[in-house]
Amino acid sequence: MVNSVVPKEEHMSEDSARGQFVWYDLMTTNSEAAQAFYTSVVGWGTQVWENAGMSYTMWTAGDTPIGGIMKLPDEAVAGGARPHWVGYVAVPDTDATVSRAQELGGKVMVPPTNIPTVGRFAVIADPQGALTAPFTPQGTGPGPKLPPPVGHFSWHELATTTDPETAFAFYADLFGWEKIEAMDMGAMGTYQIFKSGDVSLGGMMNKPPQMPVSAWQYYLNVADIDAATTRVTQSGGQVMMGPIQVPTFTTCCRRWPTRASRVWSLGPTYRSAGTSAPGNAQVIRVDTKAPAPPVLVLPAEGATASTSNETL
């Protein structure tokens, strides 16, 4: 992850930045195919960042870097890991956050690590196995654009093996998140919306039975859900669900993934579609029976996405 260059007014103080998602990395076995897919479907650009002998390709929305792409290490693949997305959350002290996560039952997947001129990060798994990356920027880090424009991430959703109340307590302690409203989904349980400061960030819900592990999925704004869904299939991806209409609840657009996931959303009425990206392995096969190794976000062979558009 790198600090993107943004206007001064879009930077955040250390206090206001805590708990905000600030970056998103795709870990993949086929960087070239992933770049071709996402640039076609989402309209992202790419930009190479060089620092201290490190070469790193960033995703850009317009002129704004919003994430990056990295090769999934061979040893991780050998251990069962599959392509997945990791969201970075701003914290004032990465080391203290990692220590507290361990006290709360979390696991350290990548220990606190310095990125020269950028900051310090780690990757942790919550007690149910879902991954996030605490990040402390060097200096003042960038804040999110609000409302999120087209091409930017706009919602963050956790499907958990435990009840959302228990899962929420872990993240509230680490990141200072607060509850907003909750939606009763009947037999599926409660969909709990949460915020950081004045910014609504996402929701948490029970993991459906067909989803093998706990995981985060990320929603991204697109201008036209139908056009984006068409581009998915034209680019070699697979539509896993929808588009569907969600008429009144602005935050429950989702799919139940069987792989690492992300979403596109355009802003109280949504349409959504679940899709699978090509180039990361066998994207047609959905393996919901395979056991999930500790580093696995979702056990299958391609990074996936859900697409949605909403009226802002």
Residue 183 sits in a domain whose CATH number is 3.10.180.10
Looking at residue 159, the DSSP 8-state letter turns out to be E
Residue 143: inside a domain: no
| Final residue belonging to a domain, choices 83, 112, 137 | 137
Report yes or no on 3 lying in a domain: no
Helix axes 164-175, 94-103, angle to 10 degrees: 150
Which pLDDT score is estimated for 2? 56
Range scoring the smallest mean pLDDT among 19-33, 91-105, 230-244 = 230-244
Average pLDDT over residues 185-211: 88
**Residue range 24-74, pLDDT digits in tens:** 999 999 999 999 999 998 899 999 998 777 789 999 999 999 999 998 888
**pLDDT tens track for 265-279:** 333 233 344 454 543
Buried (b) or exposed (e) across 179-212, using 16+ Cβ within 10 A? eeebbeeeeebbbbbbbbbeebbbbbbbbeeebb
Q: Average pLDDT in the 138-163 region?
A: 81
Question: Per residue in 235-258, pLDDT tens?
Answer: 888 877 777 665 443 332 333 222
User: For residue 259, what pLDDT is reported?
Assistant: 33
Contact 139, 92 (CB under 8 A): no
Q: What percent of the chain has pLDDT over 90?
A: 37
CB 130 within 8 A of CB 158: yes
The alpha helices in the chain, defined as continuous H runs, are 14-17, 31-41, 74-78, 94-103, 164-175, 225-234
What is the distance between the alpha carbons of residues 199 and 121, in angstroms, rounded to a whole number? 23
Instruction: Please give the average per-residue pLDDT across 186-205, as a whole number.
Output: 90
Q: Are residues 84 and 218 in the same domain?
A: no
Domain of 280?
Answer: 153-310
Nearest Cα neighbor of 262 from 282, 293, 244, 240 is 240
Q: Within 10 A of 71 (CB to CB), how many other CB atoms are there?
A: 12
Same domain membership, residue 174 and residue 133: no
Report helix, strand or coil for 90: strand
Q: Is 159 inside a domain boundary?
A: yes
